[in-house]
Structure 1
């Protein structure tokens, strides 16, 4: 018997579609998803269906994140779970979005030949996910991710978008950093779909331009603490370096520092923050944060939207 004999407006599909106003279930016997308008279901019918079918959100979670490590990261990032134990190295999130409905296993199989040991793929929903990368001596370079994206699009005709995050300490602030990167990625993605690989340097200015005053101020404040932690001496040095077009010699002369000493400090800043201020996009993004830091130091308020 077809379930549509009982619920004529039910929708059968091969993939989950979490629509507002629909109750969704997974049928293990057929391997298909059943979506029924909420208005067509009584509480008794919903309970009866749940006894024989699996609610789609639970089925999807189990199907997409099947290993204990995937489930731990999923619970930590989207639920109330703790940070997975034993994380001593810094963590980078590689966020991805796949525009079309896909067979996730095909994508995972393609990833396996590319991922380094210790990387974990965590699905956030059927089209969004992250790759957890632990810091190593030879992290995957941006050019390698670009090559992977091109190969995926060529082999499977998927429109795949990535955001290559920064390395962060595996501490209590990691979830907030994940939240910020998700915001940068999906805001920039709405306006710059010609890009396939985003990072902080490219996405942050777009995010600021498209955000309201309160949101921009809050995120600038968080990045100010992340990059400078209230260190105004470091702020002055980085700001001057950027204003001198990233010229080490002229900046060192103005700061009365040896050139090698300044070069060391700049390199350590880039290594700690994962933001390359020697590039145009990196220097522009950090310069916005420097300006915010100066406003904080002067106590002049935050003149956005005025």
Structure 2
């Protein structure tokens, strides 16, 4: 069918569109998922006919990667990243400084992608465990002369739908306790919202990406139980687990890198425990 359209419209057709000039073109998604565009110089009748045959694509950005992220979030599209696992963080920064923050983040983190949603900068990136994001943002805040508000969020992968990620972002943005904290993370979200019915989907996603992953392992279950019962005392917990202290520290580090929750921190351990008991 597209070949036939090319015969009729010639240069008015853009095949396999990579950029989206929505001022001059309509865009459609055929069954191949390769987006094509057609000039807005066609008649209203021709436009209406095309809508009957193809799904018209909503255009959110003229940047191909950003467009795929918007489609993932707003239209529950395909997972848009080549990387198997990325971290999500959310920032509230003055619009005039958004590009400054984007530039710094892309220099510090590999495979860093940003979009703007509501009045927030949304960032997906490959974690760098040598950098503490909250300390980096504090430094940038000092340089800019005001506080940047941030939420250090979940890890996502191809098993997480765009709808779930969008709901998570929206839960943070709409919660007037969370979004007024200069720094929050997934533990903060769990502790403040776990009993709020309207936040169930976000909490269930956190659980899916954290405790559901690591507590499949009985050793990790034992570690959580013993650490909680012994006030997060690593030396005593290691002794009770018949484990070398360094071995326990290595396992705790592995849990942190997998989930973003550090069982040596009270708020993180509390959130982890609450999630583990959630049905």
- Name the TM-score, length of structure 2 as normaliser: 0.65
User: What RMSD over aligned residues (CA atoms) do the two structures have, in Å?
Assistant: 3.6
Matched, 1:162 2:150: yes
Select the residue among 180, 195, 208 that pairs with 1:209. Answer: 195
**Residues 264/163 of structure 1: CA separation in 2 closer, same or farther (3 Å cut):** same
Deviation at residue 243 of structure 1 after TM alignment: 2.2
Deviation at residue 200 of structure 1 after TM alignment: 0.7
**Residues 265/76 of structure 1: CA separation in 2 closer, same or farther (3 Å cut):** same
Select the residue among 107, 114, 121 that pairs with 2:114. Answer: 121
Structure-1 separation of matches of 2:271 and 2:235: 22
Structure-1 separation of matches of 2:239 and 2:103: 49
Matched, 1:73 2:85: no
Structure-2 separation of matches of 1:229 and 1:252: 18
**Residues 281/115 of structure 1: CA separation in 2 closer, same or farther (3 Å cut):** same
Q: Which residue is 1:172 aligned to? A: 159
Deviation at residue 208 of structure 1 after TM alignment: 0.9
Structure 2 segments unaligned to the other structure (5+ residues): 1-22, 25-43, 45-57
> Does the 8 A contact of 1:96 with 1:163 survive in 2?
yes
Q: Which residue is 2:80 aligned to? A: 84
Structure-2 separation of matches of 1:180 and 1:242: 30
SS in 2 for 1:209: coil
How many pairs were matched up? 225
Structure 1 segments unaligned to the other structure (5+ residues): 1-26, 29-46, 48-57, 293-301
Structure-2 separation of matches of 1:264 and 1:174: 31
Deviation at residue 248 of structure 1 after TM alignment: 1.6
Structure-1 separation of matches of 2:243 and 2:163: 36
**Structure-to-structure mapping, 1:193-232, within 5 angstroms:** 194-211=180-197, 218=204, 222=208, 226-228=212-214, 230-232=216-218
Matched, 1:133 2:133: no
Cα deviation digits, residues 114-149 of structure 1 (max 9, x gap): 223342221224x13411212346445221123334
> Does the 8 A contact of 1:184 with 1:200 survive in 2?
no
Provide runs of 4+ in structure 1 moved above 6 Å.
Answer: none
Deviation at residue 226 of structure 1 after TM alignment: 3.7
**Structure-to-structure mapping, 1:40-59, within 5 angstroms:** none
Deviation at residue 71 of structure 1 after TM alignment: 0.9
Structure-1 separation of matches of 2:222 and 2:186: 22
Q: Which residue is 1:51 aligned to? A: none
Structure-2 separation of matches of 1:212 and 1:84: 27
Structure-2 separation of matches of 1:264 and 1:167: 20
SS in 1 for 2:83: coil
Structure-2 separation of matches of 1:213 and 1:131: 21
Structure-1 separation of matches of 2:194 and 2:129: 33
Cα deviation digits, residues 266-290 of structure 1 (max 9, x gap): 1211121111121121111111123
Deviation at residue 220 of structure 1 after TM alignment: 7.2
- Name the TM-score, length of structure 1 as normaliser: 0.60
**Residues 123/138 of structure 1: CA separation in 2 closer, same or farther (3 Å cut):** same
